[in-house]
Chain A
């Protein structure tokens, strides 16, 4: 983003440099650096000081014994060599005698200076300086108001040196401003520096977030780059000089900032730090804080240079004269408030929570009231001494009048009104804030409820998954059972097929024989070869009754006629029906049956004893067909069960997918919820700090208000305070 595309060279990491620097005899060619002794950590590794783009190592030259800071780059910077050459040339042109202090460092850009692995990379060889960072200097010296104030002025002089030569550092911050033992400043880390020769190249970094204007963008690169950070640093130093306690109040021991952070510039309304500075009793602190606040929302190039903050006589006192004199300013009695602050300092700022205690400056009404007391007291005394016969109560009237007038005069005092206004405003502000204790309790409860729900959800998820899997396994088991049962039935049928074949063959033979016998019997007509005792007449009667051949009947039954006590007979047809034929008695029936039986016996004797090959084959084919059908059925069972298995699996997968989807959604919701909790916690902390501050102001305002009592007013009337 912002950087030119194309093949960007990859650089070694800080640890890779530290490894290479264990053998400076091998990794360097430069005579000053070859064999140089690196400063080591207690683990015996070269000690690094790292930033976002490079690691710096301390090396003492074996050749000259001089100590260098060698900067090894860990990231590609476009046009790096060109930039350093331009910066080096520009800085070399500066006349040391013209600078406010010797802040610039000598450096040499050495291409291909260090070997790491198979490749060689550039380094920046810088002189080593003994100095401490601005933040650690402040840790040690913030109580020395004079030294801090002097440093603020030196810092202003340094920024003037830079802007006079149209140079911008690009990343002014507590780690790049070092303080030498004589309390003058050194500026280090020129990676992002702007010099006029680089105009148009674009920036390489955006500077430390806690020192930059919210308006600074990726492409900002020019002489005005440092303006905002300069104001931030100057304000921090001046404020600390005015009130050293601010260092502990606003600076966190390990915070990467001085008094204010990025958040304070971005949302000044919610900033405790900025509010503290804006309402500070010291007008310089208030004014500078207000300036920083208003500059945060202006484009970089319209920001005023820091030099405008310094009245000429003070600048002249602490710094060398400069070519372009800062605008001359004259001061009224506003406590050394420079010109530019007029209009920046809110007029009520002094009144707010820091108005002085008690009553001040008597008004004509106060004077009159003060004069009234002795007058009225004297009048009362006169009345009593003169012995006027007034009732005792009457003599008290003047005192009461004086007291009432005093009360009236007190109520007209502007201090009372202001104090009430302050109290009222604080009460309103407090009322608008949620009670942090209650809010914290609510947050805790909400969180506990949410956590409980989350625990339930996260334990329910695998349970749901298990339930799905169990259902799947049950479905598989059921399908398997069904398959076994169906296939067993089919297998039974297949096994029975040979028995079926035998039965079918036997039945076919029996049918064939029966058909032969029936055919033979059918051929013997009663009319042609009548049995004994059956004449043509009887034969004709028999034929009329449907009995023409031996095949047409199958026996007889004797019939007892009880009324005549005689015995007759009926013939039984092949169909099983019995008929009575006139003229056929028992004897004739027996004769017919004997005839038929004889014929039957001779037919059975001649019947076929086996099936023909064709008949046999047909039957066997039938059985083979059946076997094939059963095998098909068996196969169908297999695929039917496979289908239900497949369905169960799909069911499982769908279910799992649905669960996963629901879980992801729930996860998203949980994430948002937790993020929200985070935001609430942060808001709560800020709120609670603001609440504490307001409560403290409230308490102070109450005390002051109580100080405006009747008694103190009476005292003020006569003493004047």
Chain B
């Protein structure tokens, strides 16, 4: 059965994030307090890296169950890590955990226990900064990811296949990305084909949709293209999504349209709970 390989330090898997950094990512999104799309996406990645680090923390420190790449695409295509990891592609998680670019202090309102709210400051580690500049060379980004995926499957032919998560606001400016996406998922380990998930952050409106099983009801052709590019969720991810209250079926795909920030984190979270970590 595919997608059942143990994810362990001797058989790790890799998660490759592709982050749209085109000019249009400076557009605002969201309800009451609009945020730049680039901020939303950068926050999501930073939160997720924290999440992964906590998830893989054991007595002696963070274990390298995952190796992580964050690839930005906009004016250029390449590593989006800031700080001491700048320029690196696939980095073992323990190294990621120890080397954020900086730790910001962010203010946050929390319940004071007496029915009111009190403002507190929390530490927020950052690995990448929001960028919005240039076109949307999605094809080049997918090809870049493909080369990373190819190298990884060569290195760990028996392991859980790599997961590519593409965060974008839509239109590729260097052609139809379908074939490049297909090329990624044609790489495989003995445990199954590489997975490609897409997260569409769009200001075009329409109903937010998480893990749909058909393209019906998606508002535009970009969303439909991204949907058709996305891998079906492997069965354990489906059951995890179902246990999180998502409606899923056999043909559910790893695609989220116009997600608000909580759905973003949830989506990525499910994407990374590849199998039970043991």
CA distance A458 to B147 in the complex (A): 13
User: For B8, what are the chain A residues with a Cβ–Cβ distance below 8 Å?
Assistant: 254-256
Tell me, yes or no, whether B182 is within 8 Å of chain A by CB. Answer: yes
Within B221-278, the residues touching A (CB, 8 Å) are 239, 243-245, 265, 269, 276-278
User: For A61, what are the chain B residues with a Cβ–Cβ distance below 8 Å?
Assistant: none
User: For B193, what are the chain A residues with a Cβ–Cβ distance below 8 Å?
Assistant: 671, 674-675
Q: From the candidates B153, B183, B276, name the one contacting A52 in the complex (CB within 8 A).
A: B276
Tell me if A118 and B277 are in contact (CB < 8 A).
no
B17-25, B36-44, B69-77, B117-125 - the one binding chain A = B117-125
Determine how close the nearest CB of chain A comes to the CB of B251; give it in whole angstroms. 15
- Given that A50-B58, A256-B278, A671-B193 are known contacts, is A15 also in contact with B51, CB under 8 Å in the complex? yes
CA distance A496 to B63 in the complex (A): 89
Within A21-67, the residues touching B (CB, 8 Å) are 22-23, 26-27, 29, 42-45, 47-52, 55
CA distance A267 to B157 in the complex (A): 19
Within A235-278, the residues touching B (CB, 8 Å) are 252, 254-256, 261-262
Interface size on B, residues (CB 8 A): 59
Determine how close the nearest CB of chain B comes to the CB of A247; give it in whole angstroms. 15
Determine how close the nearest CB of chain A comes to the CB of B149; give it in whole angstroms. 10
Tell me, yes or no, whether B47 is within 8 Å of chain A by CB. Answer: yes
Tell me, yes or no, whether A18 is within 8 Å of chain B by CB. Answer: yes
Tell me if B9 and A254 are in contact (CB < 8 A).
yes
Tell me if B123 and A45 are in contact (CB < 8 A).
yes
Tell me, yes or no, whether B86 is within 8 Å of chain A by CB. Answer: no
- Given that A3-B243, A461-B179, A671-B188 are known contacts, is A681 also in contact with B50, CB under 8 Å in the complex? no
User: What sequence of 0s and 1s flags, for each residue 419-459 of chain A, a beta carbon within 8 Å of any chain B beta carbon?
Assistant: 00000000000000000000000000000000000100010
CA distance A140 to B64 in the complex (A): 21
A8's nearest neighbour on chain B, judged by CB, is B243
Tell me if A49 and B244 are in contact (CB < 8 A).
no
Within B40-61, the residues touching A (CB, 8 Å) are 47, 50-51, 53-60
Tell me, yes or no, whether A166 is within 8 Å of chain B by CB. Answer: no
Determine how close the nearest CB of chain B comes to the CB of A170; give it in whole angstroms. 14
- Given that A29-B113, A256-B8 are known contacts, is A136 also in contact with B157, CB under 8 Å in the complex? no
Tell me, yes or no, whether B215 is within 8 Å of chain A by CB. Answer: no
Tell me, yes or no, whether A1 is within 8 Å of chain B by CB. Answer: yes
Tell me, yes or no, whether A374 is within 8 Å of chain B by CB. Answer: no
Tell me, yes or no, whether A523 is within 8 Å of chain B by CB. Answer: no
User: For B10, what are the chain A residues with a Cβ–Cβ distance below 8 Å?
Assistant: 252, 254-256
Within A164-208, the residues touching B (CB, 8 Å) are 173, 175, 208
Tell me if B191 and A678 are in contact (CB < 8 A).
yes
- Given that A23-B120, A44-B103 are known contacts, is A674 also in contact with B111, CB under 8 Å in the complex? no
User: For A133, what are the chain B residues with a Cβ–Cβ distance below 8 Å?
Assistant: 59
Q: From the candidates B57, B178, B186, B190, name the one contacting A679 in the complex (CB within 8 A).
A: B190
Interface bracket on A = 35 or more
Determine how close the nearest CB of chain B comes to the CB of A73; give it in whole angstroms. 13
Tell me if B185 and A671 are in contact (CB < 8 A).
yes
Tell me if A663 and B103 are in contact (CB < 8 A).
no
User: For A663, what are the chain B residues with a Cβ–Cβ distance below 8 Å?
Assistant: 179, 182
Tell me, yes or no, whether B100 is within 8 Å of chain A by CB. Answer: yes
Tell me if B54 and A48 are in contact (CB < 8 A).
yes
Determine how close the nearest CB of chain A comes to the CB of B243; give it in whole angstroms. 6
A679's nearest neighbour on chain B, judged by CB, is B190
Tell me if B278 and A52 are in contact (CB < 8 A).
yes
User: What sequence of 0s and 1s flags, for each residue 666-695 of chain A, a beta carbon within 8 Å of any chain B beta carbon?
Assistant: 011011101101110110000000000000
Tell me if B110 and A48 are in contact (CB < 8 A).
no
CA distance A15 to B120 in the complex (A): 17
Tell me if A667 and B185 are in contact (CB < 8 A).
yes
Tell me, yes or no, whether B217 is within 8 Å of chain A by CB. Answer: no
Tell me if A13 and B54 are in contact (CB < 8 A).
yes
Q: From the candidates A23, A49, A76, A672, name the one contacting B58 in the complex (CB within 8 A).
A: A49
CA distance A663 to B191 in the complex (A): 22
Tell me if B9 and A678 are in contact (CB < 8 A).
no
User: For B112, what are the chain A residues with a Cβ–Cβ distance below 8 Å?
Assistant: 26
Determine how close the nearest CB of chain A comes to the CB of B262; give it in whole angstroms. 10
CA distance A47 to B112 in the complex (A): 24
CA distance A29 to B112 in the complex (A): 11
Q: From the candidates A14, A668, A675, name the one contacting B190 in the complex (CB within 8 A).
A: A675
Determine how close the nearest CB of chain A comes to the CB of B210; give it in whole angstroms. 14
Tell me, yes or no, whether A115 is within 8 Å of chain B by CB. Answer: yes
CA distance A210 to B278 in the complex (A): 9
User: What sequence of 0s and 1s flags, for each residue 462-485 of chain A, a beta carbon within 8 Å of any chain B beta carbon?
Assistant: 100100000000000000000000
Tell me, yes or no, whether B202 is within 8 Å of chain A by CB. Answer: no
A454's nearest neighbour on chain B, judged by CB, is B186
CA distance A20 to B108 in the complex (A): 10
Tell me if A42 and B98 are in contact (CB < 8 A).
yes
User: What sequence of 0s and 1s flags, for each residue 111-137 of chain A, a beta carbon within 8 Å of any chain B beta carbon?
Assistant: 000010110000000000000110010
Tell me if B239 and A50 are in contact (CB < 8 A).
no
Determine how close the nearest CB of chain B comes to the CB of A234; give it in whole angstroms. 20
Tell me if B278 and A23 are in contact (CB < 8 A).
no
CA distance A117 to B110 in the complex (A): 6
- Known contacts A49-B59, A208-B278, A678-B153, then 10 further A-B pairs from the complex at CB < 8 Å, ordered by chain A residue: A8-B243, A15-B51, A43-B100, A44-B123, A49-B58, A50-B277, A115-B111, A210-B278, A262-B6, A458-B183
> Which 3 residue pairs are nearest across A and B when measured between Cβ atoms?
A678-B190, A254-B9, A14-B54
CB pairs A–B below 8 angstroms (22 shown): A10-B244, A14-B51, A15-B55, A17-B54, A45-B50, A45-B123, A50-B57, A55-B55, A115-B113, A133-B59, A173-B278, A209-B6, A254-B64, A454-B186, A458-B183, A660-B178, A667-B182, A674-B189, A675-B189, A679-B190, A681-B158, A681-B190
